[in-house]
Every structure is written in C-alpha cells, then in structure tokens.
Structure 1
Amino acid sequence: MSVAELTRELVAIPSHEDETAVGDVLEQWLRRETAAAVTRDDAGNVIARKGEGAETLALVGHHDVVEPAASQVAGDEDEYVVEERDGRLYGRGTADMKGAVAAAAIAFRDSEVPRTSSGRTQSDDAEPAGELVFASFVGEEVGGVGARHAIDQGFAPEYAIVGEGSTGYSAPGVTDVAVAHKGRRGSTITARGERAHASEQEAGENAIYRATDAVEIVRDLEPPSVEVAGETLEGSAVVTEIEGGTAMNVVPDRCEITVDERTVPGERAALEAVEDLAGVEWVIDQDLPPMQCDDDAFARTVLEAADAVQPETPALVTKPHATDAGWLAAAGTECVVCGAAEPGEAHTDDESVSIAVLERCAELYRRAAERWPR
C-alpha cells in the first residue's frame, strides 16, 4: 500500500468527535503490515514498537481532526469526502495530519532498525542500536489529550519526529525541519466589584472599570522572545473577549476578559501582574507548552535526511503553532517537527496536501530512522 492510498483510507474515516474507527484501521494496518508490537491504550492512542536499545526514536502524529465543513462530509455523514486533483489530496485531515500519519506508518514499516557494535553500524548479526516507535495520538486538537495520557503512562522516547506541517517555511514547496515552536496559554481575568444603581454609581464599585485597568496592563506587557535557528521567536498576549454587566442602568459587579498568549521556550509574559489590582483574579484555562530542540546532532540528522529527498535545500526553522511536540519536550523528549502540511492548509474548508510531498516525507522519516540513534 502506498502513502497516498493509506492517506485516502484514513482521511475517509470520520474522526472529529470519535477517533475509534480510524484508530481501528491504523491498528489493524500495523498488525498486518509489520511484525512490530502494537498496542492501543485506554485513551485510544495507537503505538507500535520494534527494535531495542538504550535510546528510542518515535515517529509521532495524531489521527483526530477538527470539525469538517459540510462540503467535506459525504451525504450519509458516515464518510469524509476525499478527492485527488492536480497531484493533491483534498479532504478534512489530509494536511492536519492524517497524511503525515500515513507517511510515518509507511516509514515505520519499511525502516530497518539500525544495528550497532561498539558504537558502529554493523551487520544484521549485531545488536539493535535502539528502538523505533510509531505513535498516533488522539485528542491533539483539544489540548493534547492523547499525548498527555501516553506520557502519564510512561511514554518517554529520547527523540521524536512529530509530523506536523513544516513544508513551505523557508521557501515554497520545501520541507524544512522545525526545531522550535510557540506554545499557547489561554487565561481568564475576572474583575469583581459591587452592584449599584447607575444613578448612584459612587455607592458601588464598577467591575468593568477594574477589568479595563487589567486590559491596560496586558496591553503594556512586553512578551518574551528567544533566538532559535537564526530566527526570533516572539511571544504575544492579546485580549480576545470581554463580558460584563447585566443592564444599562446597573453598575456591574462582575466582568470577565479572556487573553490569548503565545508563549516561547523560556520565560512567560507576566500576566500575574493583573492580580495586584483590587478585586481582580487571573486563572489559566489552557497551557499548551512551546518546544525547542536542544540536541543539534539530532536536528542535523533529520535535516540531512530532508536534504537527501528533495532537490531544494531545506533549513532549520521555527513554527508559530503549538503541537504535541510541546508536551513531549516538556516531558524530556528531544523533538523536531517535520511534515507535509503547508502554511494555510490546516483547518480550512479546502484542506489539501501534496502527494509528492507525502511520499517525500515517508522517505525522509525512513532515512532519519535508519540513521538515528548513531
């Protein structure tokens, strides 16, 4: 089975609200096509392992998707629409990221586990140099549910290639290697006051006024930045929602604002400063961690594999979006992000991916897997 065929099969299976069916297909495919040890954990993650050794390299993806557009669902709603046009596959999940999951599965099937003796690659009679893992998680689109569950259950590879999009960053069509990405922290600032009649506002305490004081603090913050791979990865913090008040003639006793913060490896914006205001509380609702690869040898090995499979010259780059690489990195795994999706494709009504780039990624993953550990 080719990477395009497996992608089509996976994409056609709905996995917005329930990933069970597509997980079943992945599990069955791995059991049929490989001799690996395949498991399915309580969350629904599909994990396959082969080889053994001191270090583990994981090829990581996720098989859940965001809600499809009406045009991406077949009439009976039991199947997603998958179409091929001009060398691309169109459909929900083609880019984000069942295409890369298929490429990783093909690479896992076709990879020969490196064998070593005294630190040097030798014949097949030598001991395996390390373990190769395929992992496709559930719940990435809703906060990394599957990755967090796997980590809690002991999933701890030393290295991981996460197949989220990295194509088209340094130049159109080039599959690059992302060595860092931003995280996302979402939080709520709640201001409380005292209700009063608007004609006697001095008798109360206006919660909206307290909230606007908090907004000014957010606006004046200088989010941190970090230099990675010759790029400046900059954080941000922006107020995105505000809700307060009950009637035109009532001084409000409560007002909420939400803040979207894009984080970078290292320091965070000092949003806790709003709690110095009277009657103001700050609560973190979601915190998707950023990622930075600190193992230059690993990053260069993946970059060399990327360079070998395409005529253009790829680069080490940074990525603006949070991925499951953040959870893995926070748990101690050295990660890079490398995949077929291009900027602007994920979550769109006409989501698509290049078949040629999927094939490229499958070969890229295979080459990297056979050269690491080393």
Structure 2
Amino acid sequence: MTVALDLTADPVELTAALVDVASVSGEEAELADAVELALREQAPHLELVRSGNAVLARTRLGRPSRVVLAGHLDTVPVEDNLPHRRTGSGPAALLHGRGSVDMKGGVAVMLHLAATTEAPNHDLTFVFYDCEEVDAARNGLGRIERELPEWLHGDLAIVCEPSNGVVEAGCQGSIRVELRATGKRAHTARAWMGSNAIHAMGEALRRLAEYQPRDVDIDGCTYREGLQAVRIAGGVAGNVVPDECVLTVNHRFAPDRSPELAEAHLREVFTGYQLTVVDLSPPAPPRLTTPAAKELVDASGGRPVAKLGWTDVARFAALGMPAVNFGPGDPTLSHTREEHVPVQQIRHCADVLRRFLA
C-alpha cells in the first residue's frame, strides 16, 4: 500500500513523514510512488511524468521565466536512525533521522510549494530524482537529461540540498589526479643497485606541503581552493626497493577556472611527474546577477555564500543556467548517525521560497 503524504501540511510534519519512508539509493520506489500519488491527487494543476524512480512536475502558465527546483529522494544507508524522533521545543526543536538533512527537509519544502503555490510569478518545474548518493553514472538527473532534457531547462535552478538555510552560490570544481614516480627494483641489502620510487615522490610531497591555495571572490562569494594528497601507494615487499609509487591528489578549484585550466595548473605544479586525470567534475559559477537569482537572494534577506564542495548545481550550470543550493540543514551532518535538522530552518526555507515564487 502506498504511503499517504499530506502536501498541504506543515513542511516539518511532511519532512517527518518522508524520513520514515526508507529510500536508500536504488530502493526509492516506495517513496517515489508516494510522491507521485500525492502530487496527482493534491496538485492537479501540475503536469506530471515518471522516469524510473524520479517524479517530475511542472506548471505551464506562460510566465516569461521558469525556475527549476530539484531534490533527490535517496539517502545513504540507514544507521539505526529510523524512524524519526524529535528533541527540544520552540526555536531549539530538532527533527532527527536518516535523510532529515540530506535531503528530505528540502524535498518536503519542494512538495509543499508544489501543492500550495498555484499562481507563481515564474513557471515552475519540480524534479524529485533518484540515486544521487551513489556513482554519478547512476544519478537520475543524468537519465532525465538524456531522455527528458526539456524538463531540466529554465532561467534558474535551485537545488534544495542542505545549506543551513542560506543561499550557496554555484560550486567548486573537483579534479583528482594520479602522479607516478618510477624507479628500479633491487634487494634492500644492495639498495645502491636500485632506484627508490617512493623516495622520488618526496619532491611532489614537498610541493604539496608548500602549496598556497587561492581564495577567489566571485559575485561577492569567496571560494577557497584546496590541494591535498589523498592516497599514496608503492612497494612490493619488505626487502625490495620499490620501482613505482603512485600519489593521488585532489584539487578543489574555484569556478573562475575551467576543468582544462585546472588540469593545466596541476601539470605546472607537478612538472617532472607523470600525471593522469582519474576524475573530473566541472564547477558552477554563481551568476547571482541574473534576474531570477537576484530575486532569490533578495527574498532570502541574507548574504549568499560560496558552495565549498561539488553538488548537482554543476549539472544545471552545464546546461547554461545559473544554479544555487538552498535548503534546510547543516551539510556537515549529512551521512552521519547524528543527522538532524532544526525545524525552524525547514519553515524558514519554505517561507523564503514562497516569497520568491509568489
């Protein structure tokens, strides 16, 4: 039997109901069924389509601009944190449970607005998608872009990922590379006959230790870059001089750099080493001066900040749209056993978006 959701209820109560429907990545069907049924019954003004375990809904009011709101239905595995529970009262009230932060609080806000905002000043598209918490190849947005691309286009995308109720603009890019140093094997008793590849990696580690990352200001948002060694491997036995060492480095770069410029920068930093790119995610520029983005910032009443990390806003930016993160919850609590969201943040995000949209 499909779970019944009341989309017109307090978004906090809706968040609690969503949290109690387990939806680990790849197992979102029950929640997707509940979302689809609730939208069909309680938001008949919306055009609706189902794509796998994603549910998409939109208005067709002929407005001059369109805003896309996106949120994923899936969570990381449960860790003895279901069903939801509550602590505190008043301004200190908290709602605990898997997905309360990442990101069923944001999804609840989206669903509530979808059902209760019938005359927005923008046309609206709501995208509730699957498999965000696993390999990028399985991300529901990728499937939607391939099969239903027109559903992802608009003048502004708001990804309702947790942002402490503050507009987080754009996102950093991320590139991961492997550096290789080669040597020559020999018995450690006759080490002079070999060449130690691990020792040869010392210069790369020195460069990392001395590296000064940039702080980059774009549209009033400060993006702090980073360059970190995240893994090192080498050696074949306890009595053999190693002939290869591989150092994995992750660079988080500001959106004033393209992926090509970020790669070129790393090749310059690590001149003399064989460098292979093993993972690359493009950044998203903030573009807060566009009309719809400026309206959202004004409605939030606060100062936007840079997103220090990578989120699906980059997918929308790649489609040529300004994109921001805006949702309830502290992102540092995502994926933790202690995941919880302040209930007043859920209501705050709903109020800001209602003000922006209506």
Fold match by TM threshold 0.5? yes
The 5-angstrom pairing of residues 269-280 of structure 1 reads 270-273=265-268, 276-277=271-272, 280=274
2:225 to 225, 230, 235: 235
Which ranges in structure 2 are unaligned for 5 or more consecutive residues? 1-5
Aligned to 2:83: 81
Confirm or deny that 1:160 pairs with 2:162: no
Q: 1:297, 1:17 → 2: CA distance?
A: 35
Shift in alpha-carbon separation, 1:32–1:254, aligned structure 2, 3 A: farther
d(CA) in 2 for partners of 1:288, 1:351: 28
Aligned-partner Cα distance in 2 for 1:282–1:164? 32
Which residue of 237, 246, 253 corresponds with 1:247?
Answer: 237
Aligned partner of 1:131 in structure 2 is 123
Q: For 1:32 and 1:193, how far apart are their aligned partners in 2?
A: 68
Out of 10, 16, 21, which is 1:8 matched to?
16
Query: Which segment is superposed worse, 144-153 or 90-99?
Result: 144-153
Asked whether the equivalents of residues 56 and 126 of structure 2 are also in contact (C-alpha less than 8 Å), the reply is yes
- The match for 2:191 is 201
Deviation of residue 243 (structure 1)? 1.4
TM-score (ref. length: structure 1): 0.80
Give the CA deviation at 1:57.
Answer: 0.7
Runs of 4+ aligned structure 1 residues displaced above 4 Å come to: none
Distance 1:209 1:264 in 2: 32
The structure whose residues are more often strand, as a share, is 1
Counterpart of 1:166 in structure 2: which amino acid?
A: S
Q: Deviations over 1:29-66 (max 9, x none)?
A: 22222122222224x32211112545321111112222
Q: In structure 2, what residue type is equivalent to 1:297? A: P
Distance 1:259 1:139 in 2: 26
Q: Distance in 2 between matches of 1:264 and 1:143?
A: 23
Judged with a 3 Å threshold, the aligned counterparts in structure 2 of structure 1 residues 213 and 20 are, in CA distance, closer, same or farther, namely farther
Shift in Å at residue 114 of structure 1? 4.0
Q: What is the percent sequence identity of the aligned residues? A: 30
* 1:329 Cα deviation after fit: 1.2
Gaps of 5+ in 1: 73-79, 116-129, 168-174, 308-313
Question: Contact 1:160–1:334 at 8 Å: present in 2 too?
Answer: yes
CA distance, structure 1, for counterparts of residue 269 and residue 304 of structure 2: 37
**269-278 or 33-42, which moves further after superposition?**
269-278
Task: Indicate conservation of the 8 Å contact 2:235/2:244, yes or no.
Answer: yes
TM-score normalised to the size of structure 2? Answer: 0.83
Counterpart in 2 of 1:302?
A: 296
After superposition, give the CA deviation of every residue in 1:94-140 in whole Å (9 maximum; x if it has no partner): 0111111110111121113446xxxxxxxxxxxxxx53111122232
| Corresponding position: 1:22 with 2:31 | yes
Q: Which range moves more in the overlay, 187-196 or 332-341?
A: 187-196
Whether the aligned pair in 1 keeps the contact of 2:282 and 2:314 (CA below 8 Å) is yes
Does the CA-based 8 Å contact 1:151-1:328 persist in structure 2?
Answer: no
Note if contact 2:187-2:241 (Cα within 8 Å) is conserved in structure 1: yes
Q: C-alpha displacement at 1:235, in angstroms?
A: 0.5
Q: CA deviation at 1:272?
A: 2.3
8 Å contact kept, 2:219–2:289:
no
Matches within 5 A, 1:109-188: 109-114=115-120, 130-142=122-134, 144=136, 145-153=139-147, 154=149, 155-167=152-164, 175-188=165-178
Give the aligned partner of residue 76 of structure 1: none
Query: What's the RMSD between the two structures over aligned residues?
Result: 2.5
